[in-house]
Amino acid sequence: MEYVKIGNVKIEKTAALAPMASVADRAYRIMAKEFGAAYCVGEMASAKGLCYSDRKTAELLKMTEAERPAAVQLFGAEPEFMARAVKIAESYSPDIIDINAGCPMPKIVNGGSGAALMKTPELFGMIVRAAVEATKIPITIKFRSGWDESSVNAVEIAKIAEANGAAAVTVHPRTKTQLYSGRSDRSIIKAVKCAVNIPVIGSGDVQSVEDCVRMYDETGCDLVMIGRGSYGRPWLFGQIRDFFSGKTPKEEPTLDEKISIMRRHITLLVKDKGEVVGIKEARRQAAWYVKGINGAAKLRDEFSRMNTLEDFERLLERIKETE
């Protein structure tokens, strides 16, 4: 097994779980790790929210030993708040602290955070420097190709991140205006890898072992990160780990195995967030798990209306009846 080091953190060179807001919560991260994810990054938390002691924001920073090595992710547009937030994040003992400079959502970019930082390189550098100087924990940055096709500046941003002390960068090679549509441009990851001396993590359109291998081969990146490709498929991390361990990757799970995995995931979610919130959030997770199963459309509709664990268990029995 090969490894990459981010600061003093040693990570298997297989596949990591991306920081997906409102998706990659603790239950999701634990599932990914149980199946072999090399590294996890938590949901993004507001630097300013942390500084103002927002309880819901702080909750996003909590992690269990089962998730390690793991990072927390912060977003913000003001160096002073970022430095204070990093100090607060330290108390949760993350292995790494990641700064989001790639989120394309209006509520984030309209405040100057996320992908909007790629339009203000000088401010971006100040934010990275403020974070690095506030802690001994490795600071990493996740960003996109650029704001739009006329301003693809990932290489410039990567160099600024490195010059200001970042320990690694993650590149999602779509522009902000693309959101998650179209194909990612892996040549951007390769260009960043050629431009800096710190580890480069590649992200985007990895949905299989073959996609992961191609990402490594085509870009030369130091680690591959998977986001949407893991929806309802935590076993993908195990298949990739098998490949890089010299084993034959396991076949896709049987229906009974998928049901067992889904039950484990939703049980973790409910245990962490309580039945009311947990089942509400489980509706989307369950819908991803049944993709490709006979009668999936009807099952997704029924999952969207479940309210209790009893409803969930009843629907699992229904799935067995569809085959």
pLDDT tens column, 235-289? 999 999 999 999 999 999 999 999 999 999 999 999 999 999 999 999 999 999 9
Q: Do 90 and 20 reside in the same domain of the chain?
A: yes
Read off the pLDDT band of 321 (50, 70, 90): confident
Instruction: Judge residue 262's burial from the number of C-beta atoms within 10 Å of its C-beta, 0-12 exposed, 13-18 middle, 19 or more buried.
Output: buried
Q: Do 282 and 187 reside in the same domain of the chain?
A: no
Of the three residues 217, 244, 271, the one that is the final residue of a domain is 244
pTM (predicted TM-score): 0.95
Residue 31 is assigned to a structural domain of this protein: yes
Q: Do 214 and 318 reside in the same domain of the chain?
A: no
Q: Do 259 and 221 reside in the same domain of the chain?
A: no
Do residues 41 and 74 lie in contact, with contact meaning Cβ atoms separated by under 8 Å?
A: no
Do residues 73 and 98 lie in contact, with contact meaning Cβ atoms separated by under 8 Å?
A: yes
Q: Do 233 and 279 reside in the same domain of the chain?
A: no
Q: How far apart are CA 198 and CA 16, in angstroms?
A: 17
Of the three residues 213, 244, 275, the one that is the final residue of a domain is 244
Q: Do 272 and 238 reside in the same domain of the chain?
A: no
Q: Do 238 and 311 reside in the same domain of the chain?
A: no
Q: Do 75 and 204 reside in the same domain of the chain?
A: yes
Residue 63 is assigned to a structural domain of this protein: yes
Q: Do 231 and 272 reside in the same domain of the chain?
A: no
In the DSSP assignment, the letter for residue 247 is S
The predicted structure's pLDDT at residue 306: 96
Domain of 262, CATH number, reads: 1.10.1200.80
Q: Do 137 and 167 reside in the same domain of the chain?
A: yes
Residue 250 is assigned to a structural domain of this protein: no
* Cα 20–chain centre separation: 5
Do residues 223 and 9 lie in contact, with contact meaning Cβ atoms separated by under 8 Å?
A: no
Dihedral sign of CA atoms 71, 29, 100, 51 in order: negative
Q: Which domain holds residue 46?
A: 3-244
Catalytically annotated residues = 103
- Count of C-beta atoms within a 10 Å radius of residue 199: 22
Domain count, the chain: 2
Read off the pLDDT band of 320 (50, 70, 90): confident
The predicted structure's pLDDT at residue 322: 66
Residue 249 is assigned to a structural domain of this protein: no
Residue 42 is assigned to a structural domain of this protein: yes
Q: How far apart are CA 303 and CA 300, in angstroms?
A: 5
Instruction: Work out the mean pLDDT of the chain and round it to a whole number.
Output: 96
Q: Do 203 and 137 reside in the same domain of the chain?
A: yes
The predicted structure's pLDDT at residue 323: 64
pLDDT tens column, 9-27? 999 999 999 999 989 999 9
Do residues 89 and 113 lie in contact, with contact meaning Cβ atoms separated by under 8 Å?
A: no
Q: Do 282 and 181 reside in the same domain of the chain?
A: no
The predicted structure's pLDDT at residue 26: 96
Of the three residues 244, 267, 293, the one that is the final residue of a domain is 244
